[in-house]
Amino acid sequence: MNMQGNFEDAHKQKLTIIGAPIEEGAGRLGALMGPAALRTAGLVRTLEELGHPVEDRGDLRLPKVLPIVPPVAGLAHHIEKIAAWSRMLSAETYEAMKHGSFPVILGGDHSLSMGSVSGVARYCEEHNRELFVLWLDAHSDFNTPSTSPSGNMHGMSAALLCREPGLEGVMGDEPHGFVKPENLHLFGIRSIDSTERVLLRERGIDVIDMRKIDEFGIAKLMRGIIERVQRANGILHVSFDVDFIDPSLAPGVGTTVPGGATYREAHLVMEMLHDSGVVGSLDVVELNPFLDERGKSALLLVDLVASIFGRRIFDKPNLSDQSAAALNA
């Protein structure tokens, strides 16, 4: 899999779309409708129009027989279901990358990243490539069962990927990889629990909160992450939570936090990622159509995903045309 060079040749990169209608990790129902909303908003068609060969694998289904997960110390709601989703997703992303494809996972809540990133990490370990993760999110998602105040597992994804104790049973003996704590970049953060704050400092996680973005500028901070990946000849996984964006622009999410990225800040991040040529996989998570306003959030997400795959400003249809196309699809 060639991740080097500029993505001007990105139309040659096959994309594998994997729907993960999971909501068991969240505190509110509705995220399971996310993959359908993104398809309705024109995601697949948009990527194809950009010249990408797209294979839409449809949505994964939770198996009737769930894995047995040992009891954990603390709160971890629906851990057996999360384990089943995670193991399926890990296998799917690993197989996609193994066959030279770029996996795009449509969520679903952020617990899906436990599986999707584990599969990507496994691929990177086997091919001696350093994996970096860009976590675009309002929350740090670094709780464990023993620290989580809610027990909702979408707030534990990053902790599992960095091998925090208490979550070993999620992946069990299934083959999977991990993320080095120093290679995790939490970007756009606005809400951190006190116990998470301690762990993040102890593990040396790179936390770029909105204060830092306001002070130093989003382009400079993004450039620093991209250059680090490039120097290591690494692969970057992007885990994109809807609540990275300000809720005035994207209200369709169950965990809104004011003060998020603006429309142009979000697009700049995606445009810089496209130009970097280092991105190898993508999650789009936490879209809750039940909480959205006439598809507003889904349409914006499609627009932003198009930017990471090469659509430039002068290629972009106006919003009214885009909305009409989605509604008439």
Q: Residue 329 in contact with residue 42, Cβ under 8 Å?
A: yes
Ordered per-residue pLDDT tens for the chain, 329 residues: 444 334 344 446 899 999 999 999 999 999 999 999 999 999 999 999 999 999 999 999 999 999 999 999 999 999 999 999 999 999 999 999 999 999 999 999 999 999 999 999 999 999 999 999 999 999 999 999 999 999 999 999 999 999 999 999 999 999 999 999 999 999 999 999 999 999 999 999 999 999 999 999 999 999 999 999 999 999 999 999 999 999 999 999 999 999 999 999 999 999 999 999 999 999 999 999 999 999 999 999 999 999 999 998 665 555 445 544 544 55
Token pair listed for 61: 């289904």
- Is 109 known as a binding-site position? no
The domain over range 7-322 is classified in CATH as 3.40.800.10 = yes
Q: Residue 176 in contact with residue 154, Cβ under 8 Å?
A: no
- Is 137 known as a binding-site position? yes
Among all residues, which ones are annotated catalytic?
110, 137, 139, 141, 154, 241, 243, 286
- Is 99 known as a binding-site position? no
- Give CA–CA dist 39/143, Å, rounded: 31
Q: Which residues contact 161 (CB under 8 A, 6 or more apart)?
A: 113, 114, 117, 118, 121, 133, 178, 179, 184
- Is 141 known as a binding-site position? yes
- Give CA–CA dist 142/197, Å, rounded: 9
Domain map (residue ranges) of the chain? 7-322
* pLDDT tens digits, 132-168: 999 999 999 999 999 999 999 999 999 999 999 999 9
The conformation of residue 261, written as its DSSP 8-state character, comes to: B
